[in-house]
Amino acid sequence: MKANKPKKSFLSGGPRNLLIGTMVLLGFIFILHTLTERNRVIQPLTYSKFLNLIERDEVKRVHVAGHDVHGFLKDGTRFETTIANKSGDWELLRKHNVEFSIDSPDGAFNIWYLLPLLSLFMVTMMALWYFLRQSRGSNGGGGNSIFTMGKSRARLFMPSSINVKFDDVAGVQEAKEELKDIVDYLKNPEKYQRIGAKIPRGALLVGAPGNGKTMLARAVAGEANCAFFSVSGSDFIEVFVGVGAARVRDLFQQARKHAPCIIFIDEIDAVGRQRGSGLGGGHDEREQTLNQMLAEMDGFQTTGGSVIVLAATNRPDVLDNALLRPGRFDRRVDVPYPDLKSREQILGVHAKEVKMSDEVDLYKIARGTPGFSGADLANLINESAIIASKANKEKVDIADMEEARDKILLGKEVKSIVQTDEDRKVTSYHESGHALVRLLMPDDSDPLHKVTIVPRGRALGVTHAMPEREKYTHTKEDMIANIMSALGGRAAEELVFNKLTTGAYSDFKAASSIARDMVCNYGMGSDLGQVIYAQGHGDFVYSQKTAERIDGEVQRIMDECYGRTMTLLKENREKLNLLAETLFEQETMYAEEIYELLGIEPRAQHRFS
């Protein structure tokens, strides 16, 4: 889960320990130094006084270095003096039983002068020890020393340590279907190689954080019982040019050793952004890294075992197109926010981990948590368990769940992700408008697949038509049907709420682009005739006057379609209401459910399935 990954602070773990250690050491040395300072109070004596003291037998010990004399009196006082080099003095010392030693003149040496040097030395040693230790233990990530710069920071999980299966990932049915192919391939590569089937080398898991992308990737490894490398796109990024590329190389090299296996790259957009999008030359490093990744992906299938790369992102739009080409991340697997049913299932998975009172109805909780991600729901269960524990309860009850929900909701509202019921109602009608118009179109236009009001990317809801046939097979009726169902959303909003929202902008863009195609490319405009007016690519093959006529014709088609759509919805107002209300409750509906709900005879395509 990305959200609560601890931030790396400037001083964390090792470096901080090192700093504290050094400070303690220096403090210790300082105390020692001041303690012994007392002994260092030195009495300067004149030569004659010194001789006097010897005569009175008060001197215990002296050390002579050249003309300098250091010594102790019998009462412990330290003294120093300067003497003349007369051998007669030695006799005097002997006579009075003074211990004495003589040094060469330069040997006068004080250990305390060495202290700063000594501590510097120790600090250096400790730093060295720290880095050496780091370089040994850093394959698990986190370490960053000169010895390991070019090593990948991926974490490797062996099959035995992966305990996630598809069943643990609740909801996301379609994503699991898509990924099953990969599991099957990893398990029986020969089956595919025999026939020469091309297998995806990579799949892109697209969805907002916390909806289970990481979990799904692990589950693929879990199902296929193969090794799993986990790394984040940002782990490749380093200021030093060439380091990222080296890490990529290292990662793939390791992965090949463990093939068959999965490489999971979280937040791939950190490396995978469109090349050349940075100002100036500051992006060389990232581009090199990306190029290396592309090269590795192109290369690895030919050199043996299968390594499949799964990458996660919430921003597929910023990725470099080269990444999405065949043989790379050519499969896109959507991992959307969970709808009602999925939310209930996710709650079910996590509720198993705590003691839950029987009165808690997870379906109700699921209904009260639209817009929650899988991670939010896991968090909800955990929070409620904490709340219940604090209150010394035996089990988690409804009140705990509600308190936890409100707490999380508050956090989400700050980020303004949560939609009000009013918003969701408008979205329900909007999507129902698209869907209903689509259903009421002639049998041979694109059939409806599913409708959802679960937000995805920037869209509030989505209405899918399936199968998407190639453009050139569209008939004029097909194209009109597509325009009308695109306009159905806006028309429903206008009909029911009598107000216009900005939500329909992309619908309008889509509709008018179809209309323009009809007029310019297919000669379907009524008064422009069978002429193709190429558009785009910069070369205008028609005059200003023709351009105006094209615009007029596009406008006419749009107006006519909008009018027809409105009439259609008015005639089917009850169906629209029923669909919108049911969709509001269920959030996602498949074509079959809608046919049944509205009592419409299913289309040929659906009768078989």
Piece in contact with ligand ADP (CB under 6 A), picked from 167-175, 417-425, 467-475, 529-537: 167-175
CB of 418 to ligand ADP, least distance (A): 18
- For the bound state, the minimum distance from the C-beta of residue 154 to ligand ADP, rounded and expressed in Å, comes to 16
As measured in angstroms, the least distance from the Cβ of 173 to ligand ADP is 10
- Residue 489 binding: pick among ligand ADP, Zn ion, none (C-beta 5-8 Å cut-off by kind): Zn ion
Report the residue from 64, 98, 170, 365 that binds ligand ADP according to the rule CB under 6 A.
170
What residue 518 binds from Zn ion, ligand ADP, none (CB within 5 to 8 A, per partner kind)?
A: none
**Which helix (H) or strand (E) segment is 138 a member of?**
none
Kindly report the number of other CB atoms within 10 A of residue 183's CB atom.
Answer: 21
Q: Residue 69 forms beta bridges with which residues?
A: 64, 81
Name the one range near ligand ADP by CB under 6 A: 60-68, 163-171, 401-409, 464-472. 163-171
In the complex, minimum distance from the CB of residue 359 to ligand ADP, in angstroms, rounded to a whole number: 23
For 465, left (φ over 0), alpha (ψ -120 to 50), or beta?
Answer: beta
Q: Is 172 in the site for ligand ADP (CB under 6 A)?
A: yes
- Distance in angstroms (rounded) separating the CA atoms of residues 175 and 220: 11
Task: Tell me the site size for ligand ADP, rule CB under 6 A.
Answer: 20
Q: Is 210 in the site for ligand ADP (CB under 6 A)?
A: yes
Does 507 interact with Zn ion (rule: CB under 5 A)? yes
Question: Which residue number, 380 or 511, has a Cβ lying nearer to ligand ADP?
Answer: 380
**Binding partner of residue 507 among Zn ion, ligand ADP, none, CB under 5 to 8 Å per kind?**
Zn ion
Residue (of 582, 584, 575) closest to 439 by Cα position: 575
Site string for ligand ADP, 342-381 (x = CB under 6 A): ----x--x------------------------xx--x---
Nearer to Zn ion, 287 or 507 (CB): 507
Does 171 contact Zn ion by CB under 5 A?
A: no
**Is residue 316 close enough to count as binding Zn ion by CB under 5 A?**
no
227 beta partners = 261
Q: How far is the CB of 346 from ligand ADP (least distance, A)?
A: 4
Q: Which position among 296, 431, 494, 587 bears the catalytic label?
A: 431
Q: Which does 171 bind (CB under 5 to 8 A by kind): Zn ion, ligand ADP, none?
A: ligand ADP
Residues numbered 483 to 502 that lie near Zn ion (CB under 5 A) are 489
In the complex, the smallest distance separating the C-beta of residue 133 from ligand ADP, rounded to whole angstroms, is: 31
Q: 209 near 155, Cβ under 8 Å?
A: no
Q: For Zn ion, which residue has the nearest CB?
A: 489
* Secondary structure (3-state) at 372: coil
Which residue in 213, 424, 490, 516 binds ligand ADP (CB under 6 A)? 213
Residue 396 to residue 386: CA distance in whole angstroms: 9
Q: Are 133 and 95 in contact (CB under 8 A)?
A: no
Q: Does 222 bind ligand ADP (CB under 6 A)?
A: no
Q: Which does 53 bind (CB under 5 to 8 A by kind): ligand ADP, Zn ion, none?
A: none
- What is the distance between the alpha carbons of residues 46 and 25, in angstroms, rounded to a whole number? 40
Count of all residues that appear for the chain in the document = 609
For ligand ADP, give the closer residue by CB, 213 or 286: 213
Of residues 278-317, those binding ligand ADP (CB under 6 A): 312
Per-residue contact flags (x/-) with ligand ADP for residues 226 to 245, judged by CB under 6 A: --------------------
Q: Contact with ligand ADP (CB under 6 A): which of 211, 292, 384, 565? A: 211
> Please, what's the largest Cα pairwise distance for the chain?
136
Taking the complex as a whole, the smallest distance from the CB of residue 337 to ligand ADP amounts, in Å, to 10
- Running DSSP on this structure, what letter comes out for residue 110? -
**What's the closest the beta carbon of residue 267 comes to ligand ADP, in angstroms?**
9
Q: Measured between alpha carbons, how far is residue 606 from residues 118, 354, 471, 583 in Å?
A: 84, 42, 22, 20
Q: Which of 214, 232, 428, 482 binds ligand ADP (CB under 6 A)?
A: 214
Active-site residue flag, 596:
no
Give DSSP secondary structure letters for 576-590. Answer: HHHHHHHHHHHSEEE
- Please give the Cα distance from 587 to 419 (Å, whole number): 13
User: Which among Zn ion, ligand ADP, none contacts residue 328 (Cβ within 5 to 8 A by kind)?
Assistant: none
User: How far apart are the C-alpha atoms of 62 and 71, rounded to whole Å?
Assistant: 4
Cα–Cα distance for residue pair 301/587, rounded to 1 Å: 41
Burial pattern 39-77, b for ≥16 Cβ within 10 A else e, equals eeeeeebeeeebbebbeeeebeebbbbeeebbbbeeeee
Closest CA to 147 of 127, 133, 164, 161: 133
Which partner in Zn ion, ligand ADP, none is near 316 (CB below 5 to 8 A by kind)? none
Nearest to 140 by CA among 128, 152, 158, 131: 152
The residue with its CB nearest to ligand ADP is 374
356 close to 395: Cβ distance less than 8 angstroms: yes
CA angle centred on 489, ends 487 and 493, rounded to 5°:
120
Binding site for Zn ion (CB under 5 A): 489, 507
Chain residues in the site for ligand ADP (CB under 6 A): 1-2, 169-172, 207, 209-215, 312, 346, 349, 374-375, 378
Q: Which residues are annotated as catalytic?
A: 431
